[in-house]
Structure 1
Amino acid sequence: MVAGLMEALGPAWMQRTSGWVNIPDDGHPVEPTTPIRLHKARPAGVNEPRPEGVAGTREILDRVAGCGPDDLCLVLISGGGSALLPAPHPDITLEDKIQITRQLSRAGATIQELNSVRRELSLIKGGGLLRACRAGRLIALIISDVIGDPLEVIASGPTVPAPSNRQSAWKVVSRLVPADAIPERVRQLLQSSSSVNGGNNTSPIQASNHIIGNNQTAVDAAVLQAQMQGFEVVRATADEPGIAREVGHQLAQECLQLRRKHADRTRCIISGGEPIVHVAATTHPQKGGRNQELALAAAQDWFADGAAGMILLSGGTDGEDGPTDAAGAFVDAEVIQQARQRGLAPQDFLQWNNAYPFFEQTGGLLMTGPTGTNVMDLRVALIAPQSEPG
Structure 2
Amino acid sequence: MVPAGQRLRQLAAAAVDAVSPDQLVRRALQRHDDQLTVDGRSYTLSRNVYLVGAGKAVLGMAAAVEQLLHPHLVRGLLSVPVGARPAHLLPGIEVCEGAADNQPDAAAARTAGRIAELAAELSAGDLLLVLLSGGGSALLPAPRPPLTLPLKACLSRQLAERGASIQELNAARRGLSRLKGGGLARLARPARTLALILSDVVGDPLDLIASGPTCLLLGGETTVIVRGAGRGGRNQQLALAFALELERLVRERRLPPTARAALLCFGTDGRDGPTDAAGAVVDQAVAADARAAGLRPEQYLADNDSYAFFARFRSGAHHILVGQTGTNVMDVMALVVEQPPPRDRAAG
TM-score > 0.5 by shorter chain: yes
The DSSP-based 3-state class of the residue aligned with 1:303 is helix
Deviation at 1:6, TM superposition (A): 4.3
The match for 1:149 is: 204
Question: TM (normalized to structure 2)?
Answer: 0.73
What is the rounded CA distance, in whole Å, between the counterparts of 1:383 and 1:366 in structure 2? 20
The match for 2:191 is: 136
Q: 1:125 to 1:289 in 2, by over 3 A?
A: same
Q: Is residue 2:318 matched to residue 1:318?
A: no
Matches for 1:128-277 after TM superposition, within 5 Å: 128-156=183-211, 265-277=212-224
What is the rounded CA distance, in whole Å, between the counterparts of 2:126 and 2:91 in structure 1? 19
Q: 1:110 to 1:315 in 2, by over 3 A?
A: same
2:105 maps to which of 50, 59, 70: 50
Paired residues of 2:260 and 2:338 also in contact (CA < 8 A): yes
Q: Deviations over 1:301-349 (max 9, x none)?
A: 1225289522111001111111211111110256345313213343222
Deviation at 1:289, TM superposition (A): 1.0
Tell me the percent identity: 42
Q: What is the Cα-based RMSD across aligned positions, in Å?
A: 2.3
1:103 aligned partner, one-letter code = Q
What is the rounded CA distance, in whole Å, between the counterparts of 2:273 and 2:134 in structure 1? 14
1:39 maps to which of 96, 111, 114: 96
1:325 aligned partner, one-letter code = D
Q: 1:152 to 1:308 in 2, by over 3 A?
A: same
How many correspondences in the alignment? 277
2:334 maps to which of 380, 383, 386: 380
1:23 aligned partner, one-letter code = V
Q: 1:349 to 1:9 in 2, by over 3 A?
A: closer
Q: Is residue 2:54 matched to residue 1:110?
A: no
What is the rounded CA distance, in whole Å, between the counterparts of 2:115 and 2:184 in structure 1? 8
Question: TM (normalized to structure 1)?
Answer: 0.66
What is the rounded CA distance, in whole Å, between the counterparts of 1:29 and 1:113 in structure 2? 32
The DSSP-based 3-state class of the residue aligned with 2:74 is coil
The DSSP-based 3-state class of the residue aligned with 1:14 is coil
Deviation at 1:135, TM superposition (A): 4.5
What is the rounded CA distance, in whole Å, between the counterparts of 2:85 and 2:268 in structure 1? 19
Paired residues of 1:80 and 1:155 also in contact (CA < 8 A): yes
Deviation at 1:351, TM superposition (A): 2.0
Q: Deviations over 1:184-234 (max 9, x none)?
A: xxxxxxxxxxxxxxxxxxxxxxxxxxxxxxxxxxxxxxxxxxxxxxxxxxx
2:245 aligned partner, one-letter code = D
Paired residues of 1:22 and 1:85 also in contact (CA < 8 A): yes
The match for 2:52 is: none
What is the rounded CA distance, in whole Å, between the counterparts of 2:281 and 2:298 in structure 1? 16
Q: Deviations over 1:55-85 (max 9, x none)?
A: 1111111111111101111100101111000
Deviation at 1:14, TM superposition (A): 3.2
The match for 1:14 is: 71
